[in-house]
Amino acid sequence: MPFSTLGLRPELLKALKPQDYPAPTPIQSLAIPAVLKGADVQASAQTGSGKTAAYVLPVLELIMQQPRITPRRVHTLVLVPTRELAVQVGDTLRSLAVHLPALKITVVFGGVSINPQMMGLRGSADVIVATPGRLLDLIDKNALSLSAVQTLVLDEADKLLDLGFQDELQAILKLLPERRQNLLFSATFAPAVQSLADALLTDPVRVDVLPQVGTAPDITQRAMAVDAPQRTQLLRHLFQTHGWKRVLVFAATQHACQIIAAKLRKAGINAEPFHGQLGQGKRSQVLADFKASRLKVVIATDVAARGLDISELPVVVNFDLPRSAVDYTHRIGRTGRAGHSGLAVSFVSPDTEAHWRLIEKRQNISVPREIEAGFEPQNVAGPSPTLPHPLGSANDPTGGIKGKRPNKKDKLRMAQQPSNQ
Ligand code: AMP
């Protein structure tokens, strides 16, 4: 089905031409008509499947269908969890609105001076893309009002509904009109956030594009057994022997990102850290250099796991394993995007073997452990994840994987263990 059948005006179809999209992706075919009807929508589709355009196109169409009023009022609010995603969504909006010159799109996010953003909001905007904290700061300073918002979009919705953003999101929801359209988009909706999503949505159209053979992201997943202290060496070795063009490496902490990047630089590899403690100028620079291939390796915390679209990123490495299976999906989803193939390599040390097994179980995958010559682990793997320690306890060999309770089988096993275990 071509884009022209979806009910979008010629200006939007014209803006799609330079993008060279052959046809709408499944999420676009299903979500665009539902959004245009004014329905609430909860959409999940795999990473890299064209979700942004799936809400941007119909939202722009809806705004254009409204009579223009003065003074201008915010019609659509798009909330995103990270600054970089705000910039990216703003870029998509602007490129698809290029033939709708009367529209004002404003992007606001934290980590940079608030004054230019306040100036930018003079005369309001039709669409605001924002990270929650900075949006609230701007409202505190009377820089904008959300009282006329007709459409609310939560991009990476499950992240925004999660604990970390809960207070800010609730504060924003209170400022919005009760009658509005709600659009929730994400690759994952963990069961824990589904009830929050349900509370937000009225009679929603649920669009769930399950990966099908041939349409699922083409990501080869590999696991390499290695002792923890050897990981930087192994990363360096893999980078050099496989001639990887660009690699996004995930580490658990900001400190680890700094250390790994410094070690790689010392070895002559062009690497930079990327995490929430860096100034926004530095963060933007690192991302721009990485996207332009001036930088080969970026070592990031999970701040880079959500939504970032780095075209032709061939390899993602989990230097430290992600805390949850959901985070795993988002991390590896930075590669294998928009029809390209990708490779995701996870380093598994004896200490994290049990945690990896749990991720495999939750992901319903089984990845053989590979051993690179010269990097053979010296220790044997730890105990099975389902044996004696309750999930989340201090002794939990899984490291307390987030967002999942023990299943019936786990509970049964735990009940069979002696109580002092
Ligand atoms: P997103 O899931 O929105 O981050 O999009 C992932 C990538 O898919 C981006 O690079 C988009 O430019 C690209 N994309 C979006 N829609 C289409 C389409 N209909 N056909 C091909 N690529 C697309």
DSSP string, 387-417: SSSPTTSTT-TT---TT----HHHHHHHHHS
CATH code, domain carrying 233: 3.40.50.300
Same domain, 24 and 157: yes
Ligand 1 atom closest to residue 88's alpha carbon, by position in its atom list: 4
Ligand 1 atom closest to residue 45's alpha carbon, by position in its atom list: 2
Cα→Cα distances 163→27, 129, 201, 250, 286, Å: 27, 21, 19, 22, 28
Confidence check: pLDDT of 224 > 70 = yes
Helix, coil or strand: residue 127: strand
**pLDDT of 49:** 86
Q: How far is the CA of 25 from the centre of ligand 1 (A)?
A: 8
End-to-end CA distance of the chain: 59
Confidence check: pLDDT of 420 > 90 = no
- Of the pLDDT bands very low, low, confident and very high (cuts 50, 70, 90), residue 87 is very high
Confidence check: pLDDT of 1 > 60 = yes
Same domain, 10 and 80: yes
Confidence check: pLDDT of 395 > 80 = no
Domain boundary (209, 235, 252) is at 209
Which range (123-132, 331-340, 391-400) has the least confidence?
391-400
Confidence check: pLDDT of 310 > 60 = yes
Same domain, 102 and 231: no
Same domain, 232 and 133: no
Neighbours of 313 (CB within 10 A): 23
Q: Mean pLDDT over all residues of the chain?
A: 87
Q: What is the mean pLDDT of residues 194-218?
A: 80
Percent of the chain with pLDDT over 70: 87
Same domain, 232 and 197: no
Q: What stretches of 159-291 adopt beta strand conformation (E)?
A: 181-186, 205-209, 218-225, 247-250, 271-274
Residue 31 parent element (H or E): helix 26-36
**pLDDT of 13:** 97
**pLDDT of 95:** 96
Widest Cα–Cα separation across the chain: 72
Domain boundary (355, 370, 385) is at 370
Q: How far is the CA of 339 from the centre of ligand 1 (A)?
A: 9
- Of the pLDDT bands very low, low, confident and very high (cuts 50, 70, 90), residue 210 is low
In a domain, 189, yes or no: yes
Q: What is the pLDDT of residues 140-174, one digit of tens each?
A: 999 999 999 999 999 999 899 988 899 999 999 99
In a domain, 251, yes or no: yes
**Distance separating alpha carbons of residues 215 and 20, to the nearest angstrom:** 18
Same domain, 272 and 362: yes
Answer yes or no: is the C-beta of 44 below 6 A from any ligand 1 atom.
no
- Most informative mutation of 1, 5, 17, 25 for ligand 1 (most atoms within 8 A of CB): 25
Cα→Cα distances 318→31, 80, 114, 341, Å: 32, 24, 35, 17
**pLDDT of 216:** 55
In a domain, 375, yes or no: no
In a domain, 127, yes or no: yes
Confidence check: pLDDT of 294 > 70 = yes
Same domain, 178 and 279: no
Q: How far is the CA of 273 from the centre of ligand 1 (A)?
A: 27
In a domain, 351, yes or no: yes
- Most informative mutation of 5, 47, 52, 129 for ligand 1 (most atoms within 8 A of CB): 52
Same domain, 236 and 196: no
Structural domain of 85: 3-209
Answer yes or no: is the C-beta of 24 below 6 A from any ligand 1 atom.
yes
Ligand 1 atom closest to residue 24's alpha carbon, by position in its atom list: 19
CA-based nearest residue to 134, from 78, 71, 191, 83: 83
- Of the pLDDT bands very low, low, confident and very high (cuts 50, 70, 90), residue 406 is very low
**pLDDT of 311:** 77
Rounded (10°) angle between helices 83-96 and 280-291: 60
* Residues paired with 343 in a beta bridge: 220, 315
Same domain, 75 and 194: yes
Q: What is the mean pLDDT of residues 54-81?
A: 94
Q: How far is the CA of 50 from the centre of ligand 1 (A)?
A: 4
Highest mean pLDDT: which range of 42-51, 122-131, 272-281: 122-131
Answer yes or no: is the C-beta of 53 below 6 A from any ligand 1 atom.
yes
Confidence check: pLDDT of 364 > 70 = yes
Confidence check: pLDDT of 360 > 80 = yes
In a domain, 105, yes or no: yes
Same domain, 348 and 329: yes
**pLDDT of 397:** 35
The answer to whether the beta carbons of residues 109 and 135 sit under 8 Å apart is no
**pLDDT of 211:** 59
**pLDDT of 266:** 94
- Most informative mutation of 13, 21, 88, 156 for ligand 1 (most atoms within 8 A of CB): 21
Q: How far is the CA of 367 from the centre of ligand 1 (A)?
A: 28
In a domain, 243, yes or no: yes
Structure tokens at 161: 């509904």
Residues 6+ apart with CB under 8 A from 65: none
Same domain, 164 and 308: no
For the whole prediction, is pTM greater than 0.85? no
Domain boundary (153, 178, 209) is at 209
The answer to whether the beta carbons of residues 93 and 60 sit under 8 Å apart is yes
Confidence check: pLDDT of 413 > 50 = no
Nearest CA to ligand 1 atom 5: 50
Q: How far is the CA of 53 from the centre of ligand 1 (A)?
A: 7
In a domain, 248, yes or no: yes
Number of domains observed in the structure of the chain: 2
- Of the pLDDT bands very low, low, confident and very high (cuts 50, 70, 90), residue 64 is very high
Confidence check: pLDDT of 399 > 80 = no
* Residues paired with 185 in a beta bridge: 43, 155
